[in-house]
Chains A and B, each alone.
Chain A
Amino acid sequence: MGKPEILEGAMAVAHAVARCRPEVIAAYPITPQTHISEELSTIVADGELDAEFVKVESEFGAASVVLGASAAGARAYTATSSQGLMLMAEVLWNMAGMRLPVVLACANRSVSAPLSIWCDHQDAESVRDCGVIQIYAEDAQEACDQHVIAFKVAEDRRVLLPVMVNLDGFLLTHVFEPVELPDQDLTDKFLGKYEALYKLDVDNPMSFGCFTEPDKCMEGRWMIHDASLRSLGVIEEVSKAFAQTFGRNAGGLLEEYRSQDAETVLVAKGSICGTIKDVVDELRDKGRKAGLVCIKTFRPFPREAVVKALRGAREIAVIEKGGSFGAGGIITPDLKDALYDAGLRIPVSGFCVQLGGREVTPDGIREIIDRVSKGERVVYEYFRLRKEILPDLVP
């Protein structure tokens, strides 16, 4: 075991990624991701990692380079945020369809407009359906460890899909926390060398991502769905193996925090889970039965695990950092879908607490728990919306 160091989240992630020994890295700077790729370029330039760092003209270029590298059989990595992820979107669909186990980080940030560099989850959530596995970190340690898990899951022959590790922009990328970097020898042993199922090779040519007619395309798409569903079991298995090897928990499908006997259960993902845990502890001390289910794996959606964890709840409040304009939440409808299918009619209220970096305080979480535990139900509410600054909405 290594010893904990005080590291900036993004720097720690860069070093954890380096220990996974990617052979090709391509990234384009964008706040708040920049420190990850910047540090990785330094690590490569200093000769500490034997990898090709490709400087590109955009995130579309970065994603395309790692797609090509992965198709050529290399372990490949990129990182981005917000607008950068939007620019990568087309390539992400291709990576998933070509079943290339690229790992990427998304330092979650709001998407324009209005322009904001601060945290919410709308960037990652808007590429929810492309076949890329999405896992979310609660703190810097988890963000590091989830990268090791991500490579292992992505490259598993039962999966072969890209994995995106999400870490909240600024809240995790720019904070200094004690982090124990994954030990190099253990990481080498844990991951092994990546052997591609198919790879571009001049001596044995083959075509990637080519045309299919309507009689075959649907089966090609179904295989992505099938692999994504199968990855649920692989993520659990790899997370357990990670805990056994490295001595700490970092992933899995979800984390149940004092939720087993709870009446009011909150559901959330990302760094806000830390704040919610504090509020849950405080309410528990006062004898109130509150709990948290922290979603670690958002795509594929862990339906069964979610139902199992929430079965006993009296009411559920989902704390979201995104939403679908004109529809509602993102996690909220997934949850209702899973519960409905399981024959459960537990009331679920969705609260959008943070867009563009709006501060979320323990006091806000407390208010939400108070409201739903008194019987209030909302479909989807923009929490603490500052109505006083709004213009005439139909001018």
Chain B
Amino acid sequence: MSTKLSMDKLSIGCVAPPNGSLIYKTGAWRTMRPVFKHVTCIGCRGCELVCPEGCVFGDPKKKLFDFDPDYCKGCGMCANECPKDDIDMVMEAK
């Protein structure tokens, strides 16, 4: 049917292999980054569910959530959503 899809060469319609977009590490677009404090977390998974990039992950039982810095754009939705104020947004600076 069709040739093998790759991320180096375009296909007709720019159809890409599954997970192909993972090569684009959009984390570099970030100016603010979330800090998961792990103090008052109740494991509601709100941060994980609202993340538009799908890059918040964790274990609700252990109440330990964090983000993937390769893809997080620092939008702050997780921090805004957290009912326990357990996520801070800080400037991405050294």
CB proximity of B12 to chain A, nearest CB, Å: 5
Contacts of A195 in B (CB 8 A): 1
CB proximity of A318 to chain B, nearest CB, Å: 35
Interface centre among A206, A209, A213 (most CB of B within 10 A): A206
B residues touching A (Cβ–Cβ < 8 Å)?
1-2, 5, 10-21, 24
A residues touching B (Cβ–Cβ < 8 Å)?
97-100, 160, 195, 197-198, 205-213, 216, 219-220, 223
Contact B13 A98 (CB under 8 A): yes
Contact B11 A198 (CB under 8 A): yes
3 nearest interchain CB pairs?
Answer: A99-B13, A205-B18, A198-B15
A and B contact pairs by CB, cutoff 8 A, 26 listed:
A97-B13, A97-B14, A98-B15, A99-B12, A99-B13, A100-B13, A160-B12, A197-B2, A197-B12, A198-B2, A198-B5, A198-B11, A198-B12, A198-B15, A205-B18, A206-B5, A206-B15, A207-B15, A207-B17, A207-B21, A208-B15, A210-B14, A210-B20, A213-B24, A216-B14, A223-B12
Q: Which residue of B lies closest to A160 (CB)?
A: B12
Expressed in whole angstroms, the Cα–Cα distance for A213 and B8 within the complex equals 12
* Given the contacts A207-B21, A210-B20, A216 and B10 also touching, CB distance less than 8 Å: yes
Q: Which residue of B lies closest to A224 (CB)?
A: B13
Contacts of B13 in A (CB 8 A): 97-100, 160, 197-198, 208
Contact B21 A210 (CB under 8 A): yes
Expressed in whole angstroms, the Cα–Cα distance for A195 and B2 within the complex equals 11
* Given the contacts A197-B1, A197-B2, A198-B2, A209 and B18 also touching, CB distance less than 8 Å: no
Contact A207 B18 (CB under 8 A): yes
CB proximity of A221 to chain B, nearest CB, Å: 10
Contact A98 B14 (CB under 8 A): yes
Expressed in whole angstroms, the Cα–Cα distance for A206 and B3 within the complex equals 12
CB proximity of A197 to chain B, nearest CB, Å: 5
Expressed in whole angstroms, the Cα–Cα distance for A97 and B16 within the complex equals 13
Contacts of A206 in B (CB 8 A): 5, 15-18
CB proximity of A96 to chain B, nearest CB, Å: 9
Q: Which residue of B lies closest to A216 (CB)?
A: B10
Contacts of B12 in A (CB 8 A): 99, 160, 197-198, 223
Q: Which residue of B lies closest to A196 (CB)?
A: B1
Expressed in whole angstroms, the Cα–Cα distance for A198 and B4 within the complex equals 10
* Given the contacts A211-B21, A211-B24, A220 and B10 also touching, CB distance less than 8 Å: yes
Contact B14 A212 (CB under 8 A): yes
Expressed in whole angstroms, the Cα–Cα distance for A98 and B16 within the complex equals 11
Expressed in whole angstroms, the Cα–Cα distance for A100 and B12 within the complex equals 10
CB proximity of B18 to chain A, nearest CB, Å: 4
Contacts of B15 in A (CB 8 A): 98, 198, 206-208
Expressed in whole angstroms, the Cα–Cα distance for A99 and B21 within the complex equals 19
CB proximity of B2 to chain A, nearest CB, Å: 5
